[in-house]
Structure 1
């Protein structure tokens, strides 16, 4: 795991001191809210419906137990005893007092954390596959490159005031678990004919009011030239991205309006000028950063496989957890464990201070002092020996964190919605809670199988509804809340944007509408192994629409 160097420590300390002075001036009235707004946004501080919200960066979703304990401490002392983990692999605090923000930032700095560039028109937190460095299917661990991108993008003088916010995701595996095709820039590990590892570069993806799938701009960029190539893209965007209309300011609009070939030509022209210059990554620097992410020293394990079917008979709840919440590891005898933050009836992504402390303890004891935040609002222990799974599970049961529902219908993504967000048109959390209650029965969830529901409270799509197999979008209509349903979204390498299939539903009717869709899917699938998204693609939109609205 990366540790701050002298530059990191100095710039975080300097920014913390600077913002402390700005907060003081705001509290005394020397700064108005309009004057304070751009300053607070540069430090991850938002003003929501009821209070300020602080968004803390978790670079590429990786945390130590020490850092998680600090997040728990902040929740307990400065907030209301919980934090909300987000689709950017960050954490948000919904109730901090403005006077406490400088102290919170000092606390974060003491464990090498901050809130810089979690807001504003800059390059935001770089996200990755939550199983990076552990997954059995991985080509290369993407986190060293993600760290290099973090250092390159932090306080970059050219890219601190972009036309709009900018998001980068990276995966080192052929199966995309980081939704790279729905980012401004997406990177996926690739191998060329000579067996060298480099990066596919995708550009112009995004969600929001104009969802678009990214386009492949370069099928292979060597590691040493990656920064130069990305800087070339950023310069073209910074030069030509629209600043007159924030709804058309993202790079996806530029790529769409100018055309990929035109943008690619300009990027290649920039790249020709900077390639071989100061942005070339020396192998020794890559090796230095990579050393921080060296795999743990794994001990040979006598137990290298587990009989999930047998465990399911002995203890069905434990069996479900094993079946759904463990991921294959590159090291024999180990797995990665997903800790669900989606209890039945709970707010997706929330964790209490006590739960964070438990997760920190488990990471320290059973996962080489390392854990991850996923872009689907869960947590991961990346390196757990099979022999320790039962002890980990029992501790999670005691903490209320042992829901065995990863990738099932109750494992929903959900934005804070109108309960917190000043931009929202409708509530999201109550919808998620009611759906999870309707499908709470474990056998029902197992029957349905993999199904991703994603819920947003407004068109900004923080809940990623566009890429849900079933997406739910809250809208305002005649002063009330209405929910549109989309079908067919997919955030993986088979990327697709869901389509609205008909009129919206009142809040109380949404769970029933989801049940109609699920029942129809089960009636139409060719086998129990055919997933919802596969059945939808085979059957098509019209039969699902008829099933949902035909008897209305």
Structure 2
């Protein structure tokens, strides 16, 4: 369903200065909007194939290089050797390397063994063996040269993968529960709805020029693993009073430098209606979204200004043409962690086995080894999670112990420590042009140190490490959220470090982490800090008290 742009009624008018299309304001108000008006980002694919891949990096139009390439998952990498103090000072062309990060889109986190092997082969041939799992279920490669991109696309597309709208002002990957269709406790299998949205709208020029990125989640997971509270649009599995299974609709979540939790519209969406409701929400964002200032262009700002009643009214009247019935709120998330690590029974009597790559970092050889292990034990499916982890499905009961042993031997633990299981990190300064500090190696060292110092600690504890303020690693919703910045050490030198957020959480008591005035640490002193605060928690916690609950009542001195 392609939603036409409609003029707003007088009741809904806002100042034209926000650049909202529905109010008749079509002239671009910044360079990004001008770039998109000049040429749709989806059109860059053919130029990459016909021109840039043949003529090389120096032939690339700057507007494509730093703009439209994102519509196909391509970002220039950070040039090596540029320290974090220069991130916000240098011009883009000074930060650019001649290599690219390439993001492979994996909707719902669903991969076959053949697809995993193809990614491994592409990584080995064209990306120096790199592979990172993101917290949105994608896999990112690095060191990609523009000359290789058409061959990469051909290889991926042969097995049903692509990079279309993996980045850019587009509907990015649709996240879903990696156990959809097999979890014995799931409310509804959302994989048909994800596939439906994907096939209808991804790559459709009706939605390829949004004000900013648009993040979607569709899931019936009883653990709420798709973190619906922080997506632009989310469909959460529910059962209504008539016993029908469908979805509760949430809109306007997002983090970055101005975090907001999504809001329930209070409606029940039948499975067959999901695709058109998704298109309606995306259409509102396209037509009414703020296009003047990039930092206010996410859907959350519109939802916050309008409120849920007005948003629902516009959705139903102008985009759907019918009223949505009232619906129930989702049940509280199933107890425990949201990551699906460990061994668990499927509804068919087989088992799934979730394991923990360290901070999502893998390589081509490890991807091949994962595929080998899955295939050896009869599985054709390896899925990614929203916590930078992976799950092998369909393991027969009598093969569980052996596959666990093989994964553990490959340093892919099925029963990891809390620190290995619940620490994640963004790309960081190694490759990212926005980053201020290094993240992956820092987080890996932190895990090793905490395992050594606190071997008996087994409580849930999320540690999210981010290289800049943009919160790709969801720092505000972590028990310990670490925002990369330069800090002054005890010798007065400026070094890599982190501002600390404490006690963020999603679920029953969703909320953002507490910031204690002046609470920072150097990267070097990070293990000392985390050990200290975790030991304080262990000493003071009440029976059943979570870290986030303790933080809310703890004295500031015990958080330092």
TM-score by length of 2: 0.80
Contact map agreement 1:413 1:464 (CA 8 A) in 2:
no
SS in 2 for 1:88: coil
Q: 1:270 aligns with which of 318, 321, 330?
A: 318
**Mean alpha-carbon deviation: is it higher for 367-376 or for 393-402?**
393-402
Q: 2:216 aligns with which of 159, 168, 173?
A: 168
Distance 2:292 2:470 in 1: 19
Provide Cα deviations, 1:326-384, integer angstroms capped at 9, x if missing partner.
Answer: 2343233x322112102xxxxx1111222111211222233530110111111101222
Distance 1:406 1:354 in 2: 24
Q: 2:361 aligns with which of 324, 330, 350?
A: 350
Q: Report matched runs for 1:272-311 at 5 Å.
A: 272-273=320-321
Residue in 1 that maps onto 2:449: 438
TM-score by length of 1: 0.81
Cα gap change, 1:112 to 1:399, in 2 (>3 Å): same
Residue in 2 that maps onto 1:508: 524
Tell me by how many angstroms 1:530 deviates.
4.1
Cα gap change, 1:367 to 1:181, in 2 (>3 Å): farther
Distance 1:147 1:431 in 2: 37
Residue in 1 that maps onto 2:536: 520
User: Is structure 2 residue 290 aligned with structure 1 residue 242?
Assistant: yes
User: Is structure 2 residue 67 aligned with structure 1 residue 38?
Assistant: yes
SS in 1 for 2:173: coil
Q: 1:424 aligns with which of 428, 432, 435?
A: 435
Distance 2:178 2:509 in 1: 19
Contact map agreement 1:410 1:435 (CA 8 A) in 2:
no
User: Is structure 2 residue 485 aligned with structure 1 residue 475?
Assistant: yes
Contact map agreement 2:284 2:315 (CA 8 A) in 1:
yes
Contact map agreement 2:156 2:162 (CA 8 A) in 1:
yes
SS in 2 for 1:496: coil
User: Is structure 2 residue 470 aligned with structure 1 residue 460?
Assistant: yes
Q: Report matched runs for 1:313-352 at 5 Å.
A: 325-332=342-349, 334-342=350-358, 348-352=359-363
Tell me by how many angstroms 1:21 deviates.
1.4
SS in 2 for 1:70: helix
SS in 2 for 1:23: helix
Tell me by how many angstroms 1:395 deviates.
1.9
SS in 2 for 1:42: helix
Residue in 1 that maps onto 2:512: 497
Cα gap change, 1:517 to 1:352, in 2 (>3 Å): same
Provide Cα deviations, 1:36-81, integer angstroms capped at 9, x if missing partner.
Answer: 4333212111002033111111121000010111111112111222
Tell me by how many angstroms 1:112 deviates.
1.2
| Long gaps (5+) in structure 1 | 1-12, 277-322, 343-347
Residue in 1 that maps onto 2:460: 450
User: Is structure 2 residue 552 aligned with structure 1 residue 532?
Assistant: no
Provide Cα deviations, 1:491-511, integer angstroms capped at 9, x if missing partner.
Answer: 335422212223211211221
Distance 1:459 1:520 in 2: 27
Distance 1:500 1:391 in 2: 45
SS in 1 for 2:101: strand
Tell me by how many angstroms 1:548 deviates.
2.9
Distance 1:379 1:237 in 2: 32
Contact map agreement 1:183 1:203 (CA 8 A) in 2:
yes
Q: 1:486 aligns with which of 486, 501, 504?
A: 501
Distance 1:72 1:425 in 2: 29
| Long gaps (5+) in structure 2 | 1-41, 80-98, 325-339, 489-493
Paired residues, number: 479
What's the C-alpha RMSD, in Å, of the aligned pairs? 2.5
Provide Cα deviations, 1:473-494, integer angstroms capped at 9, x if missing partner.
Answer: 1124586433111112123354
Contact map agreement 1:207 1:460 (CA 8 A) in 2:
yes
Distance 1:438 1:121 in 2: 39
Contact map agreement 1:123 1:166 (CA 8 A) in 2:
yes
Q: 2:376 aligns with which of 355, 365, 368?
A: 365
Contact map agreement 1:56 1:90 (CA 8 A) in 2:
yes
